[in-house]
Amino acid sequence: MPMRDFAAVLKQANEDFEFSREMRYYTGKLHVTIGDQAWLGVYDDGRLLSVDPSDIDPKDAAIAVSGTREQWEEMTAEHPRPFFQSLQSSSIKHGVQLSNTEQLYAYLPALNRLMQIFRRLNAQGA
């Protein structure tokens, strides 16, 4: 199944009440790597300022999520297989890389909502 462009997903997520509520205080960078492509979202007090293609290295991003394209296809499937339904279990059971920062855990509800939005958009077609 074709996968949506992550920048488009993040922009769409910012229109979602639940995601916006959970990100409302975040100031920093969100780095996402899908295979050999990466994006960097920059936030200020919960507002998305920009999202652009990035180097694979997350550098100083407080929140980073990295996986192979295959892992992302599993995580964003309409009905994920066991342990692909959340970022935590995808990390523990399937090797998806998560930054080990306070910000990641503080904003985990937002990130899991982001995955739900990604799934819905993929199911609607790329």
What pTM was computed for the model?
0.92
pLDDT at 125: 78
* Architecture (CATH level 2) of domain 6-120: 2-Layer Sandwich (3.30)
Rounded (5°) CA angle 112-93-34 = 55
* Ranges of each domain in the chain: 6-120
Band of the pLDDT at 126, cuts 50, 70, 90? low
pLDDT of 114 strictly over 70: yes
pLDDT at 2: 60
Read off the pLDDT of each residue in 15-30 and give the average, rounded to a whole number. Answer: 98
Q: Which helix (H) or strand (E) covers residue 108, if one does?
A: helix 108-124
Determine how many CB atoms are found less than 10 A away from the CB of residue 119: 19
pLDDT of 1 strictly over 80: no
pLDDT of 3 strictly over 80: no
Higher local confidence (pLDDT), 34 or 4:
34
H helix count then E strand count, the chain? 6, 5
**Residue linked to tokens 């550098």:** 59
Read off the pLDDT of each residue in 83-92 and give the average, rounded to a whole number. Answer: 95
Give bridge partners of residue 51 from the DSSP assignment: 41
pLDDT of 92 strictly over 70: yes
